[in-house]
Structure 1
């Protein structure tokens, strides 16, 4: 068994899957902390539906799904921000409107295209078929997200916990909100290849919720979230290749188990 695991790590397609999985896990965990603490965690779910709809349209038109979906999801994320800021529509309602509309449009295009289009990989994930292009995009995105958090750490911290004070200092919160939204939308689109549109939002939510059960400071929650996210992804990918479990759903189940464990640990520490 140990020998087989070591052999598995030497396989090129497994290495690609693991690198992409870890890269997206880091992105999702870093962005998830800010989004969960600001109670915007469901935006990931909404954007994943937009991504699925865009991928469906791209497939029907014989376009590259990833390249086609990226700008559309970015625009959708900015539109959701502006819609909640300048209208009477609340954030969750705006997300629901955009998400359901995107799914409806995507399905309608597929249905009327009259061709046999298989975009199931974008619905449930398909980590076994990672291309070199997707590998490069994932690693590049990971580096960009890490760099953004290093350079904008204080800004993101202030924006997350006290946006009113942040604005009073003369800083334009909308700029940084848009940056986070864009990075989140790109993470969602690329992450659909791993977990699929139905599950990618869990990669944003679970690690932060788990970390908050035990860790209390902002920095410790960020570090713990990244570690949890990466480890859960690694377990899911390994189980996918070794036991033939579906990678996406396995990663979510492992995250759920970790959350339950951390909830128990948190209650013990409070005694």
Structure 2
């Protein structure tokens, strides 16, 4: 009964409501993007951009600026730079991501050292904190998540073609480079939006886990997206409420719920086969 009371209490708190709204927006964005990134074998770009966002947060805290406003343009430029390294410098995707992410972590550590070390604010950005979500963060997350979902729906057929067969998509006149840049840009925005709830070190899991979980039982592309979105929202809601009830970091709680759901769906897949 005590847990039920804590859940009811959590649902009535303003900061919890903001966390769940932002979490839902991130869950939808990451679930819709996840299938394109996973099937194109670009899933590690999320991890690389998460490391870039660590450096941008350190820069923002040093300057006393809004981490969201500083991170979005810089992380977007970093995603485009990774694509450029892959296309023009002949550096394959994983190597390009490794170069950019390792440089960004080193830069973030140096900046935090100059600023006087890791403080509570930076720690909350590393691993997520539902207490850190402000009203403006919520409004900005809703607007940007709406933009991401709208663009994915608008370019759905082009993205679908590029994901399954990029060479064929290019032959029939689809701008494959433009679609790849669109995916990278939308991923950048999603990564930045998620750092408040999940943290820079764990946000990439929000893109990978729901999609991989959905792929265990889905039978089509669209069903994968739908199941992924449902799984992502359940993981965020459960993780955010669980973090309040059991006094745990929100980011780690969400990832653990995602991991549990993946194992559950994997078990379901094997049971169905048997």
Q: How far, CA to CA, are the matches of 1:224 and 1:257 in structure 2? A: 15
What's the offset of the Cα at 1:116?
A: 7.2
Q: Name the residue aligned to 2:137.
A: 134
Structure 1 unpaired stretches of 5+? none
Q: Name the residue aligned to 2:227.
A: 224
Superposition pairs of residues 15-94 of structure 1, within 5 angstroms? 15-94=17-96
Matched, 1:123 2:134: no
Q: Which of 243, 256, 273 is the aligned partner of 1:253?
A: 256
Output the aligned Cα RMSD.
Answer: 1.4
CA contact 2:16–2:130 (8 Å) conserved in 1: no
Q: Name the residue aligned to 2:241.
A: 238
Matched, 1:8 2:10: yes
Q: How far, CA to CA, are the matches of 1:247 and 1:12 in structure 2? A: 16
Distance 1:46 1:225, change over 3 A: same
What's the offset of the Cα at 1:115?
A: 7.2
What's the offset of the Cα at 1:3?
A: 4.2
Q: Name the residue aligned to 1:109.
A: 111
Matched, 1:164 2:171: no
Q: Give CA deviations for 1:173-216 in whole Å, capped at 9, x if unaligned.
A: 11111111111101101101111111000000000100101112
What's the offset of the Cα at 1:11?
A: 1.6
Q: How far, CA to CA, are the matches of 1:97 and 1:208 in structure 2? A: 26
Q: How far, CA to CA, are the matches of 1:87 and 1:262 in structure 2? A: 40
SS in 1 for 2:195: helix
Q: How far, CA to CA, are the matches of 1:61 and 1:6 in structure 2? A: 39
Number of residue equivalences: 271
Q: Name the residue aligned to 1:189.
A: 192
SS in 1 for 2:196: helix
Q: How far, CA to CA, are the matches of 1:29 and 1:194 in structure 2? A: 16
Structure 2 unpaired stretches of 5+? none
Q: TM-score, normalised by structure 1?
A: 0.96
CA contact 2:124–2:132 (8 Å) conserved in 1: no
Q: How far, CA to CA, are the matches of 1:47 and 1:148 in structure 2? A: 20
Q: TM-score, normalised by structure 2?
A: 0.95
Q: Which of 96, 99, 114 is the aligned partner of 1:97?
A: 99
